Amino acid sequence: MEENEAWKLFRMKAFPRNASTCSCPTELEELAKDVVGKCQGLPLAVVSLGGLFSTKHSGMEWKTIYNGLNWELSNNSTLKPIKNYEIERERLARFWMAEGFIENVSGMRLEEVADRYLGDLISQCLLQVVGVDGYGQPRKCKMHDMLRELALLKSKEEKFCGIYGGEGIGTRPEEGLTRRLSIQASRAEIKPWKGTTPREQNY
């Protein structure tokens, strides 16, 4: 979407109490515009970030959220492959099945249900198709940078997975509580560590 449209949409979501005027407090405007620019015109990212920032009212709270999202990784050539990683449909489906995310549907194989889930995520712009097969079906997909950062932030808040690297490369996830570990670092930056996390799964 166009920059001015994205800016208006963000203000509507971030400042619902000012919905009639869509006004942004002067002290937050510079930071807010920077956030919108990083959404790269993706409506879902604008809406998601607007909703996230709407719960914060002070400049300090906004800066805390802003700094919690790893914007700097977008320009890091070493880590860029991590962010732009393209995953094959079949591999993604296997991950979902291994985690128990795919429900049993009468008359359908788990792979078919996984394809339905994938189609829903694509239609909602949560995943981007980057390759199709001979039948025009998604073969590879990836997640938009902005949505990926939001997903990591939410995963950490809900203790769905531990985050190693990124904003604080070298930090260790809390021992004993992490079943899944998202590594946001290059091989050279990963420090030796033996944790006691149960049934840890790395992605």
Task: Provide the domain limits for residue 7.
Answer: 3-68
How far is the C-alpha of 97 from the C-alpha of 103, rounded, in Å? 9
Residue that is last in its domain, among 68, 102, 121:
68
Question: 173 and 197: one domain?
Answer: yes
Asked if the structure places residue 87 within a domain, the reply is yes
Asked if the structure places residue 60 within a domain, the reply is yes
Q: Which residue has the tokens 């006691």?
A: 196
Q: What is the 8-class DSSP label of residue 87?
A: E
Strand, coil or helix: what is 165? strand
* First and final C-alpha spacing in the chain: 32
Number of domains observed in the structure of the chain = 3
How far is the C-alpha of 62 from the C-alpha of 59, rounded, in Å? 5
- Please report, in tens digits, the pLDDT of each residue of the chain (203 residues total): 888 899 999 998 888 876 567 788 889 999 999 989 888 788 878 888 888 888 888 889 888 888 877 554 444 444 444 567 889 999 999 999 998 999 999 999 999 999 999 998 888 778 889 999 998 899 999 987 778 877 887 787 778 877 776 554 445 555 555 677 777 666 656 566 555 555 545 44
Q: Return all residues near 9 (Cβ < 8 A) that are at least 6 apart.
A: 1, 43, 46, 47, 50
Question: 61 and 98: one domain?
Answer: no
pTM above 0.75, yes or no: no
